[in-house]
């Protein structure tokens, strides 16, 4: 199965060479804070892939081509993709006290297809930076690209929902998700923020594809009163 695992493997193996890509994939992230007994126990991140990236990812996942992702297809996806994503720390940092840390355990995964699309990002050049002659540049390997001749007629989104267990129940936490290479641009949908959560920029985590013009990571902070 060729999925995001291939892209993530490329990030892990080729970074920082592929930093010349800016970005190839755009994700709208929804954050959910899971509360039980007056404390947070889990946090969910929901990734809505841009329509073009979705069309590269959906066909090998939706093996029976029914426009849905079954439980069996989800399990195959999780087995293929989550270990690769774990190598990149799930592109995520949590904080339940003083120090940021990577999610310590594999999350649960649910996948679906939003058809029609519920997320359409601004127009941008998906291949910007894929120039072998560019200084420090490295193109996405051909065997990591997917070209589908039978693309879906209308835009749709591949959606991943990953639920992470917090190390212990807490009254407050923060979550920050970013690909430091800016190969995958991840932005939090501020309209989907749950009650008790706010959105700002992390002061440290950033990508800087254009020197002097850093893109700081979105950080969601949740606190129970």
Those residues with Cβ within 8 angstroms of residue 24's Cβ, 6 or more apart along the chain or in another chain: 7, 53, 126, 127, 140, 183, 184
**The tokens 């709208």 sit on which residue?**
28
Measured distance CA(165)–CA(62) in Å, rounded: 28
**71, burial (CB in 10 Å: exposed 0-12, middle 13-18, buried 19+):** exposed
Residue 11 and residue 54: Cα distance in Å, rounded?
Answer: 18
- Reported as a single tens digit per residue, the pLDDT across 140-174 is 455 444 454 466 789 999 999 999 999 999 999 99
Give the contacts of 106 (CB within 8 A, at least 6 positions apart). 82, 83, 86
pLDDT over 70 at 186, yes or no: yes
Task: Give me the mean pLDDT over the 166-191 stretch.
Answer: 95
Task: Dump pLDDT digits (tens) for 2-45.
Answer: 567 666 665 554 444 444 557 889 999 999 999 999 999 999 99
């Amino acid at each position: 199965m060729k999925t995001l695992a291939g892209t993530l493997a490329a990030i892990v193996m080729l970074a920082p060479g592929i930093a010349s890509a800016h970005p190839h994939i755009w994700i709208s992230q929804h954050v959910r804070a899971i509360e039980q007994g007056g404390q947070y126990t889990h946090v969910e991140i929901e990734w809505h892939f841009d329509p073009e990236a979705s069309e590269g990812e959906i066909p090998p996942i939706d093996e029976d081509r029914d426009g849905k992702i079954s439980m069996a297809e989800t399990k195959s996806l999780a087995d293929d993709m989550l270990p690769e994503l774990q190598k990149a720390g799930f592109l995520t940092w949590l904080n339940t006290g003083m120090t940021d840390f990577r999610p310590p355990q594999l999350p649960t995964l649910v996948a679906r297809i939003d058809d029609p699309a519920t997320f359409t990002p601004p127009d941008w050049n998906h291949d910007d930076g894929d120039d072998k002659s560019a200084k420090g540049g490295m193109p996405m390997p051909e065997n990591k690209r997917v070209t589908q001749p039978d693309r879906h007629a209308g835009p749709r989104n591949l959606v991943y929902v990953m639920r992470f267990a917090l190390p212990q129940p807490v009254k407050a936490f923060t979550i920050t998700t970013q690909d430091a290479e800016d190969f995958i641009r991840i932005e939090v949908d501020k309209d989907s923020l749950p009650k008790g959560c706010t959105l700002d920029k992390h002061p440290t985590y950033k990508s800087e594809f254009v020197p002097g013009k850093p893109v700081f990571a979105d950080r969601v902070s949740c606190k129970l009163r």
